[in-house]
Structure 1
């Protein structure tokens, strides 16, 4: 018997009473009935919650036949009325269908507001007193459709009632694809809207008595994989596929004939055009230009647009007929064999498909080689889990956490997720996607440190932190604490051992302070909790100093520095960026916080995605695992140990092993090996290098973890999907350039640049379309000084080389110009500052120093002797020049320098400065004919303004404080990276960046200019620190002091530092850096080799085909 929820089972409304009686009789207790509940100021008559179907709202009319006078105008019913109190008779015009639909709209709004989802909600009208003949004779069907109208005969039996209810459901099938499944969870959440004392047990549904013959609500599938042999291709299949695509189903289609591909592709394009859209690459946009026709598709073997890819392959001859796989489920062994064969024959990526559709209850590890589409795979996985979860997209945005390695990566991920769901919204019109898009900025997509800050703000109370914790990253206070503690330590020792104690340390105090800071920095890079270190963590002294006094100082001071800093920062409710991960680990290890995290469990599926997993350190991995366990996140980790190039930050090759995923039933392991970046022929040549490196060993370990699996799965070999160099001599795209001497290096680099530029011109001359990326030439180096050296060498040879060596924002022309403007605004009537402003890119010159001198000399002749600051003649001349440039401004307020100075008194200083930028456009003078330089200038002006806004409250920032801040940042060379604009539309762009900065990027051509440096020796550094964190933390260090002639004099080293192991580790890391550098290339790769270098260096690791003369 259905559940009636409410206190008014019986009322004075016979019709409602009778309908409720029948509903209770005909349905089991999994169905729920409500009566006269308020929704936005109205009350429905009767409402039925039908599990797995939806919500039906009944408008009940107890009218007898003689109550109905007539149907008017086909859209309303005129009825007799009688006042219950006075007995006065009258008439009333009603439309039961309109009344019911009004309740439906209100119910949809109510449920969406509360749950973010909209299940199927529809209306029916009930006339318990009217027969079918009465209904027909009165012509009521024009007002109330027969399929949605319950009459007296429909209530006479369960069978008749089910038949009418089935008609009602079928009448609303069209809405099902846009509605959420009415799952037990969603039904529970809807019931919570109307019931205050509902128990969680009520969501359990057993012995469900679904309406017989009723078709269950059909939500569109997430994806369809369709294998269509030529003999099975027909119009019906085409229509079914295009219909599925139009409602948002992702299509993977395999045909056996290019003609069949063309038929499907044209049909898909037709859907897109019909929806007023146009495909732009893999994105969709609104067709504002009214494009209705595109070039007919013919002779291609791959067609791809958003959410659809069609391949044409040769007939498989495997005896397999047409089959369709929905949502990656129920794949038989035979079908899987077919899919594996298809994977080998075309660019269909079976591993990506499997990752996307993996059981949502599993943790996933993806070992993704360079250029294998890991970001695309992650977004596809997010789309899949959003589809299968029974909650709103808005709710799903709260259930997903994404950890990236850098802020830029987080921003790019946000943009790509937004683009995907925007495409889906344009295609389907599903407004639920808009709710998700609006939530993206609030999603937890961030670096591990930003995520740690969020957790610490919740759990850090016991450690002494408040909820509004802030982060600091400067080292001024650290240096101060080090100096104080070292002074105190030495003073104490001098009292014990006399003034000669300092000599036992073996080095000046300022160097000791510097070395302590360096050791601390390296420990922080590996997320070590320095506060907890003890003397035994530093081992024993091996060399340096007298009686091991230097080592004792290190053991004593380093943990104290950290503890002092911790106390100081906690008083200000701050945490140092360096201590973020160790503090997070402390938080989640505390018993009370473990209990708090367990209480924070939602009981709902939640997902954590971790990008660039190979770059995480041991502490970060342990923290991620513990948080995921306590908050019940399902993990999706993706990375590539061959690209682990941040060892100085604690990253290790064994990152995936630390997860403990091998042979675990909770984890699924996949490999992505199909490369979507690099030419297939070039990848085949690369394989010779990588395979050789995988077979070489150093310190008992392979130089590069690189294995080739004959089955194609779990392989490190990259399989190319791009074909740029077919029928091209390998020496055109894989080239060794030998030089006899070091002084030949720069010339060789730019001769190769010129060769590549000529090749680009030749390809374009043959009608080959090249993208902006294809025309980028990247010169990749290891050190920033090398990039600057290459840039200077290029300048001397007439080449503009773009660099981004890091920390250069406050050394750039936009920063210097901004300070010039700020000084001119502050010293608005002083000639020196105005002259600097006129000479800058804002005005572009026009006043020479000789002219300035002449003006001053003329004033002297007048007999009036003035000081330089009192000299207003020069200032007036300069102001006139400035006014001439300002004359183009709109509005008199901005046409005059003095008016601008007045504006500073009533307007925020940054607003005034922005206005000056918009009028004078300094980027035009700076860039002249180079659009890239103009864009670069504007981009970094915006970045400088963002920096200033972040650093100070915009309203309280005065012109004085702005000048002070800019001056301090420029003089102090504050370390902030400038921005580089995209090189769109450029004929050919030459960039020189470090390999580390190139990671994640791609370039048409890659040149390695420095391949002869030894990689098996320690870097030229005065300090090296190693950390082993296995059975207890072991901190090793080696400190070298130099003489005046730059030779090493003394070495201070403890027994935990193993130089041979460090050399082996460095060589393996340099090999991985080489792998990253090579795999940035799209079309060509070349390297400079110095003759006579036979040691261990890059040029001797890169495979060389001597038969081809490479």
Structure 2
């Protein structure tokens, strides 16, 4: 069965995916081994696995009344599909959960890249690879190597290559005045591994560099020939005009008409041939040629008309050749560089991750039943593909043999049924075409004819084809859905006379209107047009954040989505300066942490005591002074001043001892010296990074520092969940997510090509160039590339519309739009909104605030009254869990700390209770506990602590084993500053949250302060009625 889900934003796509998955598995508990679910990001993979396991856990261990809305919907649907009762579903869920957890390796949910990598690894020899190849993801260092190798090969013996490089240098000098081409080649090189370049570069392998070089010279000669011909024709036309009259006012439009046209062409060296309405009219109507009654003979008129038409024709040829020539010299070097990249790959036994799809495609494209898929075809008979609109053409071609095989086979224990292929997607959310996503696949498979053509030509009545449209929005509140319905229906219908239109919108946005699934709330949309205020955008974003807070939202419920990273970075810095906590790509970088930078600077000093910048940074940190206030002595003898500063502050800093330590031990010791706690999220992540580096990359300090400089822009906190902070993100990264409040600062709509260039197949049989690489610009109009250019612009218009759709549909309760001047030129987002509002003049849901130049749609006075409900969830991943990999050698070499017998006993009992999932309820149950041999000497103390809990009636409700109680031991919570907090036990009752901490020894005020901080953090997360209690053991 082939099923395609057309799932608009917020329509419960993941819910339906879980329904399909569990329905299949509940029919046969072993079936999960035969299912392959494919996603496009690691986060999506983790979310899908989590959702399935979480749903099974709830079905197995909770009562129906405790399910949330989504879980009830899944349960009811499965119950109806399979005609099962509640007890049967509970039993099956329990068994399936157990099977998956004990056989997790066969729980096959992965990204498409990971899946293809498994194939590469499994069939390395068949694919011509060594078994021990190294995968490389980042290729920048190899690009640099390739360019260096290319330039080093320039010599008198290698004249052709030298000529090619020198020609590129010459062009670079003419265009920019700079002869350095390395940067341009670095920017150009990634094209090699773009999927669209696979076929063209493959074709170039059959052509010698000499042939290409010779033809390129001919092409440039042809360009000069055409230019000379145009100049000759223009000069002849100019003579004809002057023979008629040398006075411009004897001709219509004077110098702006036919009189000055030929002269302008001559002045531009034949390159600037513009045919306006004045010229067209002059050569089409004899009477529009001249004025003042001047008589023009028919022969003269026909000759001038012929010259104009011939020049236009030659100009079109010239423009085509010029567009070919722009990348021609670079293209020749690209072919050279591709060969060098292959040499590096062979020399160092590498495999470039970006070649994965092409490598598989190369080996299966000519086979009807590819041998590398035989084992996989026997194992997997059920395929789920999420976000199908983002699948590339080559990825699809690689998957197709497996999918067709599944649809043609029968799998035990269903002898009368074939396998299943279930695709989930939405063309309106196709925003990754720049990464080769091809939504046309989804569009084609959305029709029965497309299904028969691509999947199963033999299914003439489409009995095995099922198209499901999910058209109810369960995510967003009423007015948010209503606004988006109206706005995108309006944009879809824009006509030519509105000066903007989306030619493909009718197909892509056919199912844009959604039903409202969340009737419980009203919601709102705010549209802020530009005002005359200074720093308008920054100010309005801050006002939107403040307004959301005033409506009862917390920082963590707010997201600011931007089109580009630059604006996001700017706004993140602005909010941070205003003391508003922010989570952004910049703020999550390890290099954004002052503490991490202190550690790195210390390492740099150990590597080079003359590193004055690093030394001054540490001095500044120690003295807590601005750099301008640091004493002069620090500048004169920085290193000795630093040592003296350490000494004065009582810090034992011994460089000779430190430098002898292994890397992880060294970094841990530096953290101890500066009193940096591992509870700090950045320090914890940094230590984990050092641990991984030491085990996988190198053990020398200079290696670490070099690697840090290369990679620090890519190293981030792995999770920021739980932080009460405003999220600042690009629209692309926000895809698939939802936020109670979205702030959308979009100043303009970009009417430009998504693809900056395209490959054009050369049909000229006499040419040795199989393809040309053409820049996609307006200059392609009136050339042989015009059709391709228009096609790209039409698809790009949809790309831009889809970005708006994704941005608008992330909001659950409120959407703040902050845009530019509504009177600005076409292609402007503000213009779209202004046209839309004018279209909705009769809609009473719009309220205009003239003073602020702002419109409100929906409930302007909306108040968020369900903070606690929104954030109280059965999902333990609300908290940021942390599992640290410890360096065992570091643990056993740490200086020993002598504990008293009482302290040791207390720590053991504390740890025992913290790991206990089920508590005894009576003294008799305590006596029946089967203690381990390791527990032996601590048993009396453990029993005493348990008896204290059992005998305290006030504690009983919080240590009950009732399934309705949700309790978590040592759950890690990350606060707004990235610090990790770990209460011993958190218990969630229906109307109360209770936090417990186990302590030994004397009662100290610091213990209560610690407990209070845990409670406050939970309150900030939206929980109500939170209290805490210390249990002294």
Class of the TM-score when normalised by the shorter of the 2 chains: 0.5 to 0.7
Distance 1:1017 1:525 in 2: 20
Say yes or no: does 1:1078 pair with 2:817.
no
**Residues in 1 aligned to 2:808 and 2:124: alpha-carbon distance in whole angstroms:** 44
Residues 796 and 622 (structure 1 numbering): CA distance in 2 closer, same or farther, change over 3 Å? same
- More helix as a share of residues: 2
**Do 1:527 and 1:620's aligned partners in 2 also have CA atoms closer than 8 Å?**
no
Q: Which moved more, 1:452-461 or 1:843-852?
A: 843-852
Give, in whole Å, the separation in 2 of the partners of 1:959 and 1:511. Answer: 34
1-structure distance, mates of 2:421, 2:58 = 26
Correspondences of 1:578-727 after superposition (within 5 Å): 578-589=354-365, 591=367, 594-598=370-374, 601-602=377-378, 606-630=381-405, 634-657=420-443, 659=445, 660-661=450-451, 664-696=462-494, 701-703=503-505, 705=507, 715-723=511-519, 725-726=521-522
The answer (yes or no) to whether the contact 1:1006–1:1080 under 8 Å persists in 2 is yes
Question: Which shows bigger deviation, 913-922 or 414-423?
Answer: 913-922
> Which residue of structure 1 aligns with residue 131 of structure 2?
467
In the superposition, relative to structure 1, how do residues 833 and 627 fare at CA in structure 2: closer, same or farther (>3 Å)?
A: same
1:359 matched to which residue of 2? none
Are the structure 2 counterparts of residues 476 and 463 from structure 1 closer, same or farther at C-alpha, using a change threshold of 3 Å?
same
- 1:945-1094 equivalent positions in 2, closer than 5 A: 945-953=687-695, 957-970=699-712, 974-979=713-718, 981-984=720-723, 986=724, 989-1011=725-747, 1013-1017=748-752, 1024-1027=756-759, 1036-1038=773-775, 1055=785, 1058-1089=788-819, 1090-1094=821-825
The 2-side partners of 1:419 and 1:753 are apart by 33
Matched, 1:526 2:195: yes
SS in 1 for 2:756: strand
Q: Tell me if 1:909 matches 2:663.
A: yes
**What is the CA distance between 1:839 and its match in structure 2?**
4.5
RMSD of equivalent CA atoms: 4.7
Give SS of 2:383's match.
strand
Confirm whether residue 939 of structure 1 aligns to residue 681 of structure 2: yes
Q: C-alpha distance in 2, partners of 1:921/1:424? A: 46
Do 1:739 and 1:1088's aligned partners in 2 also have CA atoms closer than 8 Å?
A: no
Within 1, Cα distance between the matches of 2:675 and 2:106? 35
Superposition map of 1:726-875 within 5 A: 726=522, 733-740=525-532, 743-760=535-552, 776-794=557-575, 799-804=580-585, 808-823=589-604, 836-837=617-618, 839-840=620-621, 845=624, 871=640, 875=643
> Aligned with 2:750: secondary structure?
coil
CA distance in 2 between partners of 1:747 and 1:489 (Å) = 56
Deviations along 1:945-966, whole A, 9 cap, x unmatched?
A: 4444444426952444333433
> Does the 8 Å contact 2:780/2:789 carry over to 1?
no
Change (3 A) 1:504 1:836: closer
CA distance, structure 2, for counterparts of residue 613 and residue 1051 of structure 1: 33
**1:380 partner SS:** helix
Cα distance change, pair 792–850 in 1 and its aligned pair in 2 (3 A): closer
- Note closer, same or farther for the CA distance 1:1051–1:562 as it changes in structure 2 (3 Å cut): farther
Partner secondary structure for residue 722 of structure 1: coil
Write out per-residue CA displacement over residues 674-702 of structure 1, whole angstroms, 9 at most, x where no aligned residue.
22221022201211111122323778733
How far, CA to CA, are the matches of 1:960 and 1:915 in structure 2? 18
Report the 3-state secondary structure (helix = DSSP H, G, I; strand = E; otherwise coil) of the residue aligned with 2:130: coil
Give deviations 1:936-992, integer Å, cap 9, x for gaps.
xx334344344444444269524443334334545xxx44455561255x4xx4333
Distance across 2 between alignment mates of 1:820 and 1:557: 41
Q: Distance in 2 between matches of 1:512 and 1:1052?
A: 31
Distance in 2, matches of 1:525 and 1:533, equals 15
Output the CA distance in 1 between the equivalents of 2:183 and 2:627: 47
SS class of match (1:677): coil
Post-superposition shift, 1:793? 4.0
Residues of 1 paired with 2:143 and 2:627: CA distance? 48
Task: Provide closer, same or farther for how the CA distance between residues 532 and 1052 of structure 1 changes in structure 2, counting only shifts above 3 A.
Answer: farther
| Contact persistence 1:800–1:990 (CA under 8 A) | yes
Taking structure 1 as the reference length, what is the TM-score of the superposition?
0.52
Q: CA deviation at 1:1018?
A: 5.0
Q: Is the 8 A contact 1:504 1:550 kept in 2?
A: no
For residue 446 of structure 1, report the CA deviation from its aligned partner: 2.8
Q: State the SS of the aligned residue for 2:123.
A: helix
- Deviation track 1:215-249 (CA, whole Å, cap 9, x = no partner) reads xxxxxxxxxxxxxxxxxxxxxxxxxxxxxxxxxxx
Which is higher, the Rg of structure 1 or of structure 2?
1
Contact 2:760 2:774 in 1 (8 A): no
Distance 1:695 1:856, change over 3 A: closer
Structure 1 or 2: larger strand share? 1
Residues 357 and 395, structure 2, Cα contact 8 Å, conserved in 1: yes
Residue 941 of structure 1: SS of its match in structure 2? helix
The 3-state SS of whatever aligns with 1:953 is helix
How do residues 193-232 of structure 1 correspond to structure 2 at under 5 angstroms? none
* SS of aligned partner of 1:471: strand
Deviation at 1:596, TM superposition (A): 4.4
Q: Tell me: CA distance 1:1035–1:375, structure 2 relative to 1, closer, same or farther (3 Å).
A: farther
Alpha-carbon distance, 1:650 to partner: 1.6
Match of 1:379 in 2: 18
Match in the other structure for 1:133: none
Tell me the secondary structure at the aligned position of residue 385 of structure 1: helix
Question: How many Å separate the matches in 1 of 2:746 and 2:319?
Answer: 35
Deviation at 1:1006, TM superposition (A): 1.8
Structure 2 CA distance for partners of 1:644 and 1:846, relative to 1, 3 Å: closer
Unaligned runs of 5+ in 2: 63-89, 221-317, 410-418, 453-460, 765-769, 849-854, 856-1033
Aligned-partner SS, 1:609:
strand
Matches within 5 A, 1:456-495: 456-472=120-136, 473-482=138-147, 484-485=149-150, 492-493=159-160
Number of aligned residue pairs: give it.
Answer: 667
TM-score (ref. length: structure 2): 0.56
CA shift at 1:1003, angstroms?
1.8
Classify the secondary structure of the residue corresponding to 1:1101. helix
8 Å CA contact 1:368–1:638 kept in 2: the answer is yes
Quickly say closer, same or farther: Cα 1:380–1:839, change in 2 above 3 A. farther
Runs of 5+ in structure 1 lacking a partner?
1-361, 709-714, 761-769, 858-866, 884-895, 925-934, 1041-1047
Q: Which residue number in structure 1 is paired with residue 39 of structure 2?
A: 404
Contact 1:806 1:978 in 2 (8 A): no
CA contact (8 A) 1:779 1:1007 kept: yes
Distance 1:454 1:822, change over 3 A: same
- Summarize deviations over 1:431-468 as a string: whole Å, max 9, x none: 55233124336644332222222112233424421234
1:65-214 matches, cutoff 5 A: none
How far 1:512 moved relative to its partner? Answer: 5.7
Kindly indicate whether residue 865 of structure 2 is the aligned counterpart of residue 1097 of structure 1. no
